[in-house]
Amino acid sequence: MNPSRAALERRGRDPVSYAALLVAIVALVSSLGGEAPAKPRADAAKAASLSKQLAKLKVRCPVANAVNFGSWCLESTPHSIPPRDVGKNNYFYATQVCAKEGGWLPSAAQLIGAAPRAALQSTIDDNPGTSGAEEFPDPTRGILDKREMTGDLFTTTAGSEAAGSEGVTAGAKGNTSTGEPDPVPMPANPSPETLDYITVYDNHNLGGFAGGSPVSKPESFRCAYATGSQKKPKASKTS
C-alpha cells in the first residue's frame, strides 16, 4: 500500500484530497514518462493503475437508500426503531444511535435545506409522494400531523432547568490548600425540563419549523452521514 493511501485510510474521511493527490501523481508519472523513454511501458502501466483507482473513487453515502447532498447524505426515511426501544427515542437516544452508526443528528438547517429532495415528516394534507405524509393512514393509530427531531436546542428559562446540571456528588471536598469549604451535595439534572430540541416538517417541500419538544420526549428522527466512507456502519442493520 502506498503511503498516500495508508494516510487516507487512517483519516477515514477526505476523498477529495485523495482524488487530488492521485491526479497529481498521474500527472507526475506521465511527465516522467516523457523524460525517460526507456521505461515507457512501466510508466504507462503505473499511470493506468492510478487512473483506475481514481475512477473507482466515488463520493458516496455509507448507508443504502439515502439522499446524497455531495459532502453529506441523509437517511431517506426516518430511522427504524427496534420494538424493544419504541418510546425511548428521545434526544439522548437519537444522538447516541446516530453517533454509534458513524453519523450525527442533522441540524434544522440541514433538514429544511433537504426538504425539496427528502420526504420529511409533514402535515396530513401534504403530498404523500414527496413527503412522509401517509396516503392511507390507519385510523386506529390516529391521523395526525408529524414532525422530525433536529440536533438544535433552545430554552426559554435559565438555570439548571434550562441547561441541566451535573449537581454536586456526596463526598466532594473543597480545596484545603485555599481553605475552600466542602460543597453542599446537590442532585444532578441531566435532562432539564425546559431544554427543547427544534422540530421541523416538510411543509410542501419548503421546509418549516414545527416547534420544540423537551429533550426527554420521543420523536421521529433520521441520521446524517459524511460521504466518502467505503464501509457500512456496523449498527446500520437496525435501520
Residue 185 inside a domain? The answer is no
pLDDT number for residue 54? 59
Residue 165 inside a domain? The answer is no
Question: What is the grid cell recorded at 83?
Answer: 420494538
- Residue 108 shares a structural domain with residue 209: yes
Strands 148-155, 195-201: parallel, antiparallel or unpaired by DSSP? antiparallel
Q: Model-level pTM?
A: 0.71
- Residue 25 shares a structural domain with residue 134: no
What is the rounded CA–CA span in Å between residue 224 and residue 118?
12
State what percent of residues in the chain have pLDDT above 90: 63
- Residue 221 shares a structural domain with residue 121: yes
What is the rounded CA–CA span in Å between residue 149 and residue 110?
12
Tens digits of per-residue pLDDT, 84-133? 999 999 999 999 999 999 999 999 999 999 999 999 999 999 999 999 99
53-67, 76-90, 218-232: range with highest mean pLDDT: 76-90
- Residue 117 shares a structural domain with residue 216: yes
Contact 207, 135 (CB under 8 A): no
Contact 73, 117 (CB under 8 A): no
pLDDT number for residue 29? 54
What is the CATH classification number for the domain harbouring 151? Answer: 3.10.100
pLDDT number for residue 80? 95
Mean pLDDT score, 173-184: 95
Res 210 pLDDT > 80: yes
- Residue 142 shares a structural domain with residue 199: yes
- Residue 142 shares a structural domain with residue 234: yes
- Residue 231 shares a structural domain with residue 125: yes
Residue 70 inside a domain? The answer is yes
What is the rounded CA–CA span in Å between residue 80 and residue 90?
13
Residue holding cell 437508500?
A: 65
Tens digits of per-residue pLDDT, 27-74? 555 555 555 555 677 778 777 777 666 555 556 899 998 999 999 999
Instruction: Report how far apart the first and last C-alpha atoms of the chain are (Å, whole number).
Output: 34
- Residue 135 shares a structural domain with residue 51: no
Number of Cα atoms under 13 Å in the Cβ half of residue 64: 5
- Residue 128 shares a structural domain with residue 96: yes
Residue type, 148: E
Domain final residue, candidates 56, 78, 97: 56
Tens digits of per-residue pLDDT, 157-169? 988 889 999 999 9
Question: pLDDT category, 5, cuts 50, 70, 90?
Answer: very low
Res 2 pLDDT > 70: no
Residue 164 inside a domain? The answer is no
Strands 224-226, 72-75: parallel, antiparallel or unpaired by DSSP? antiparallel
Q: What is the mean pLDDT of the chain?
A: 83
- Residue 52 shares a structural domain with residue 70: no
- Residue 74 shares a structural domain with residue 97: yes
Residue-number span of the structural domain to which 139 is assigned: 66-156+194-238
Question: What is the grid cell recorded at 47?
Answer: 499511470
Number of domains in the chain: 2
Domain final residue, candidates 11, 34, 56: 56
Residue 180 inside a domain? The answer is no
Residue type, 68: N
Which tops the pLDDT comparison, 124 or 156? 124
